[in-house]
Chain A
Amino acid sequence: MHTSATAWWAPKSGNAASEYEDAYAVKPEALRFAVADGASETSFARQWAELLVEGFVQDAPSPAGLHDFVAPLQAVWAEGQKGKATAWYSERKAADGAFSSLLGVTIEGDRWRAVAVGDSCLFVLRAGKVLRAFPLERAEQFNNRPSLLSSVARANAGVWSQVATVDGDLQEKDRLLLMTDALAQWFLVEAEMGRRPWAALAKVTTPEQFTAYIDCLRAGGALRNDDVTLVSVEVAA
């Protein structure tokens, strides 16, 4: 299988681009793709989200190997904090750790495989239909507080049992959409109402168009104000 991938992102409205805390990584030649959503109530979340996606497209850990995959990244994150937390509150916040979702997708032969922690979502499209939504399948499921991967080991004790995995077959012209939660929630709401949200996203060809479309969805109240990330993967023969 050959793929081509495009990625789009926009910070939460009212925030600067430098305050964007999602992350994505694509490695089409290796057929690996990932998005992550750094939790905004934690600090240095973007760095943590970036470590996770970059690590994923590098190593493509198996779901069972996720624990061993995360450990060295935690060390890198901790190293990056050294000397930065000088105020008492930064120190306390850093001790609490950063948290992030992770959605990673790999393609091997004519099959795809996905692993997820948290509420970043994968949608597999075929012939104008959503063939698969993962790990959340209905818009209402976004109400729960998701389990997230932490940059401090002790906070991950309850996470390993909640790692979700799924796989499926792949055909020519299939599309895989990886999204962070706000956009994924909008996508599911639209799909549940019988509309075709992927069609509008497919029309986007420039970053400006993406930003304009996101602004429009936010202004109309259809999209929750949050960082937004979309990775779109097209499958060729």
Chain B
Amino acid sequence: MAYEAEISRNNPSAFLFLIDMSGSMTDPYGSGKRKADGVADAINKLLTNLSIKCTKSEGVRDYYDVGVIAYGKRVEPALVGELTGVSLASISAVANHPARIEERTKKEDDGAGGLAEVKVKFPVWFDAKAAGSTPMCEAFKMAHTTLSGWVANHPYSFPPIVINITDGEATDGDPAVDAEALRALSTQDGNLLLFNCHISGTAGESVLFADHEEGLPDQFAKLLFNMSSVLPEAIRESAQREGFKVSEKSRGFAFNADLVELIRFLDIGTRPSNLR
């Protein structure tokens, strides 16, 4: 059976985020924040969650390799600080090298029926810099180059998960072709999983783990849906436990998910149930 490999330090898995940083990402989204800033926050929170998930008494265990590629004016690895230019880094390297640590406040249950405002450290690895067009095909090609070596070196690992977050059409060709080549990469445990998150300016009901393309508001949403991997059973069950409606045809596709939901989408997509 595929997608059952145990994620361990000997057989880590990999996440690669492809982030659309084209000029249109400066448009406001939901609460009025720029889309690009919202996505940057989401990526930073996700890297935070992954780091904490892998933290044990002695430090961070390398259960994952992680990378972020931004595409816009250029297509390039997008982690900043010490990790500038690195396309895939171990999660311990990521945890130990945020570009900076900001302090933010959040409200927390104080255990006595009230809410307490607590200060939390908010590490930042990725800053929004939106400009230029949408070279998605080139981003898929860079992901392919980055991960083809990885799968060769990790034949028994849970296959890599690539998460593409975009608001618009590719400007450098038909991404379906490059997406197919990317999904063809595999380990012995299964093919690479490609998830797409569409942040659209077109009005339309928010969708997570869509299982059919009817009802998606535009051609591009449909294209992204069809480029997305069908959820493997383990991830589907995990999503089900979180209360999502999923079917056997559900794909790793989100349309206009608000950013809180986007985090949940990414969290579930990136949390194979067998991480112990």
Whether A92 pairs with B56 at a CB distance below 8 angstroms is no
- Which residues 35-57 in B have Cβ within 8 Å of A in the complex? 48, 51-53, 55-57
- Besides A12-B276, A14-B8, A88-B123, 17 more A-B contacts (Cβ < 8 Å) are A14-B9, A19-B56, A41-B276, A43-B56, A43-B57, A46-B57, A47-B57, A87-B59, A87-B95, A89-B51, A89-B52, A89-B55, A92-B52, A93-B52, A93-B55, A154-B109, A225-B6
Interface size of B in residues (CB-CB distance below 8 Å): 26
**Closest Cβ–Cβ distance, residue A159 to chain B (whole Å):** 13
A171: chain B residues within 8 A (beta carbon): none
Q: Is B33 an interface residue when CB atoms closer than 8 A count as contact?
A: no
Closest to A224 in B: B276
Closest to A84 in B: B57
Q: Is A44 an interface residue when CB atoms closer than 8 A count as contact?
A: yes
Whether B9 pairs with A89 at a CB distance below 8 angstroms is no
Residues of B contacting A: mostly: mixed
Whether A153 pairs with B123 at a CB distance below 8 angstroms is no
Partner of A91 from the list B111, B121, B275 (CB cut-off 8 Å) is B121
Q: Is A200 an interface residue when CB atoms closer than 8 A count as contact?
A: no
Whether A41 pairs with B121 at a CB distance below 8 angstroms is no
B121: chain A residues within 8 A (beta carbon): 88, 91-92
B123: chain A residues within 8 A (beta carbon): 88
A44-B60 in contact given A87-B95, A92-B120, A226-B276 (Cβ < 8 Å): no
Whether B111 pairs with A154 at a CB distance below 8 angstroms is yes
A154: chain B residues within 8 A (beta carbon): 109-111
Top 3 A-B pairs ranked by shortest CB distance?
Answer: A154-B111, A93-B55, A88-B121
Rounded to whole angstroms, the CA-CA distance of A96 and B56 in the bound complex is 12
Q: Is A165 an interface residue when CB atoms closer than 8 A count as contact?
A: no
A89: chain B residues within 8 A (beta carbon): 51-52, 55, 60, 95
| B interface footprint on A29-41 (CB within 8 Å = 1, 0 otherwise) | 0000000000011
Rounded to whole angstroms, the CA-CA distance of A44 and B58 in the bound complex is 9
- Which residues 74-93 in A have Cβ within 8 Å of B in the complex? 84, 87-93
B10: chain A residues within 8 A (beta carbon): 14
B101: chain A residues within 8 A (beta carbon): 88
Rounded to whole angstroms, the CA-CA distance of A225 and B275 in the bound complex is 11
Rounded to whole angstroms, the CA-CA distance of A47 and B59 in the bound complex is 15
Rounded to whole angstroms, the CA-CA distance of A25 and B98 in the bound complex is 42
Closest to A93 in B: B55
| A interface footprint on B101-129 (CB within 8 Å = 1, 0 otherwise) | 10000000111000000001101000000
- Which residues 126-183 in B have Cβ within 8 Å of A in the complex? none
Q: Is A237 an interface residue when CB atoms closer than 8 A count as contact?
A: no
B111: chain A residues within 8 A (beta carbon): 153-154, 157
**Closest Cβ–Cβ distance, residue A201 to chain B (whole Å):** 23
Rounded to whole angstroms, the CA-CA distance of A145 and B271 in the bound complex is 15
